[in-house]
Amino acid sequence: AKSRFWYFLSQLRKLKKATGEIVSVSRVYEKRPLAIKNFGIWLRYNSRSGTHNMYREYRDLTAGKAVTACYRDMGARHRARAHSIHIIKVEEIAASKCRRPNTLQFHNSKIKFPLTHRTNHKLHAPRITTSRP
Amino acid sequence: AVVSTQSTGAHGDDKGKLVAIVDVIDQNRALVDGPCSGVGRKDINFKALHLTPFTIPIAHSARSGAVRKAWEKAEVTKKWSESTWAKKLASREKRSQLSDFDRFKLMKAKQARNRIINIEFGKLRNAARKAKK
């Protein structure tokens, strides 16, 4: 966390670890971790042929989880590795200001959708049993 | 507003408990609360939930107190424990806890019941044979 701090700070200001001092490092906890929020994340990432800005939206309980979802999503959709992603800003967005249809479709107090193709993945099948699987 | 049972191997300690789906976070996750079954409010994947036919009338994202009140008013725990589904789960649980002596007692009870059934069956069969002649 500290070295990442210096990485970003020296990009923004004329400061480096040798010329600056970290006063405190503390975890920032989510204020309302049990309330569902829409997070807008502004980022900048390197693709194979250039670097681009992006704005993405995620619906989640905490900012930390939303950012993690963002990293996974970028890896999945754009093959962007974590080292090539800079998260510029994370902000809780009011429902009326959301832009992406994927978040907007959940802004429905009478939402309903079927749970299709429910399979049993048997994730925790024991390695040794007395009964045939 | 729907009540569902949790059934996962992962969240072993909360397995099989009743919770109410309080809100939908996104395609895969629901915000879930079980004030009357000792489950704290949390987000959970739909894949870890089995929906029950019971519902309670709460507003979306209602707080734990409101959920508890609606739950107790609708007597969900009582209705659940009277349902065949819950009884089957309970008997499955009981069966897995049987000791060898219990299994012996079970065998003897089954034998006694089958004797009674077979005697009656024999009577019916003989009556049918006589009627055919």
Average pLDDT (B43-54) is 88
- Which residues from B are below 8 Å from A36, CB to CB? 23, 25, 31, 61
Q: Which long-range contacts (CB under 8 A, 24 or more apart) does B67-71 make?
A: B67/B20, B67/B22, B67/B33, B67/B35, B68/B35, B68/B36, B71/B3, B71/B20, B71/B35, B71/B36
- Chain A hits for B25, Cβ within 8 Å: 36, 59-61, 106
ipTM of the complex: 0.80
Chain A residues interacting with chain B (CB cutoff of 8 angstroms): 34-36, 59-61, 103, 106, 109, 111, 113, 115, 118, 123-124
Q: Give per-residue pLDDT as tens, A35-65.
A: 999 999 999 999 999 999 999 999 999 999 9
Residue B7 has pLDDT above 80, yes or no: no
**Is the predicted pLDDT of residue B59 greater than 90, yes or no?**
no
Question: Residue A6's pLDDT is what?
Answer: 95
Which residues, 6+ apart, have CB-to-CB distance to A30 below 8 Å? A61, A62, A63, A64
pTM, entire model? 0.81
User: What pLDDT digit, counting tens, does each position of A80-133 carry?
Assistant: 999 999 999 999 999 999 999 999 999 988 888 998 888 877 777 888 989 887
